[in-house]
Amino acid sequence: MSKVTCQISMSLDGYVAGPDATLDEPLGQGGEQLHEWAFAAAAWREAHGQVGGEHNADSEVLAASLARSGATIMGRRMFSGGAGPWADDPNPNGWWGDEPPFHHPVFVLTHHARDPLALTGTTFTFVTDGLESALEQAVAGANGKDVTIGGGADVVQQYLAAGLLDELHLHVAPVLLGGGRRLLENLGEPLPTLEKTDVVETPGATHYTYRVRR
C-alpha cells in the first residue's frame, strides 16, 4: 500500500523558506541555501533534465525518495505562487517549466476550480474539496508507489495535524534563515510522535527519516 510521505528541506532554525518570498524569489531571502545539497546532486539534475552533478550520499537519498514517489500533493503557492482566481494568477502554468521534474501525477490544493494541466511527463490536477480528497486521488494515481506531500509548510502541517502522514523525510541544512515559513508548528493536539528510523549525515544536510505516530 502507498505510504504518505513528506520530503522537505529545513534550516536549523526551522524554516522551509526564508523571509520576504516573492514571485521572483519564491524561497525567500537565503532560502536557496536549504537546497544546495540537492542542487549539487546528480539525482536532482537528472530529474530536472540536466546532466552532471555529484554521485554522493545526498544524491542517493534523493534518488531513493524519487524512486518511491508515485504522486505529489502540493499547495497552490508551491505550484504558482498565486492565491486568488486563476485568471489573476501571474504564473498560471506554475514555475515548474514545460517539463516539470515530477514525472508523475501532481495534485494541487486550491480554492479555485480548474481543468487539469497536462505538461510533458506531468499532469497537474487541481483539487478544491480538501486534503482527504487530494490524498485519495493521489493514492489512486500513484500506482502503488508512495504519495509525497511536497509542501509548502502549511500543507505539510495540515496533513500532519490530520494524522494523515506516515513518514517525514526531513533534510536539515546547516544554515540559519532568521525568518520565513516555519515547518514544525500548528501540528494539532495531541502532537504527533516521531520515531527516528534512519539518519544519513552529509556536509550539506542531515537527512532524517521519522515514522509519524499519533
Q: Exactly one of 170, 180, 181, 214 binds its own copies (CB under 8 A); which one?
A: 170
Q: For residues 110 and 113, what is the distance between their CA atoms, to the nearest angstrom?
A: 7
213 binds its own copies, rule: CB under 8 A: no
130 binds its own copies, rule: CB under 8 A: no
Q: Could you identify the residue written with the cell 555529484?
A: 54
3 state SS for the chain: CCCEEEEEEEECCCEEECCCCCCCCCCCCCHHHHHHHHHCEHHHHHHCCCCCCECCHHHHHHHHHHHHEEEEEEEHHHHHCCCCCHHHCCCCCCCCCCCCCCCCCEEEECCCCCCCEEECCEEEEEECCCHHHHHHHHHHHCCCCEEEEEECHHHHHHHHHCCCCCEEEEEEECCCCCCCEECCCCCCCCCCEEEEEEEEECCCCEEEEEEEEC
Part of the chain binding its own copies (CB under 8 A), chosen from 59-67, 71-79, 98-106, 197-205: 197-205
What H or E segment, with its residue span, contains residue 17? strand 15-17
Nearer to its own copies, 49 or 174 (CB): 174
Nearer to its own copies, 131 or 172 (CB): 172
Q: Exactly one of 26, 81, 101, 192 binds its own copies (CB under 8 A); which one?
A: 192
Closest approach of Cβ 97 to its own copies, in Å? 32
Q: Exactly one of 99, 129, 132, 201 binds its own copies (CB under 8 A); which one?
A: 201
Part of the chain binding its own copies (CB under 8 A), chosen from 37-45, 86-94, 119-127, 186-194: 186-194
Nearer to its own copies, 47 or 194 (CB): 194
First to last CA, the chain: 19
Q: Exactly one of 3, 14, 81, 123 binds its own copies (CB under 8 A); which one?
A: 14
Nearer to its own copies, 67 or 199 (CB): 199
162 binds its own copies, rule: CB under 8 A: no
Part of the chain binding its own copies (CB under 8 A), chosen from 34-42, 52-60, 151-159, 177-185: 177-185
Binding site for its own copies (CB under 8 A): 12-14, 170, 172, 174-178, 184-185, 187, 189, 191-196, 199, 201, 203, 206, 208, 210
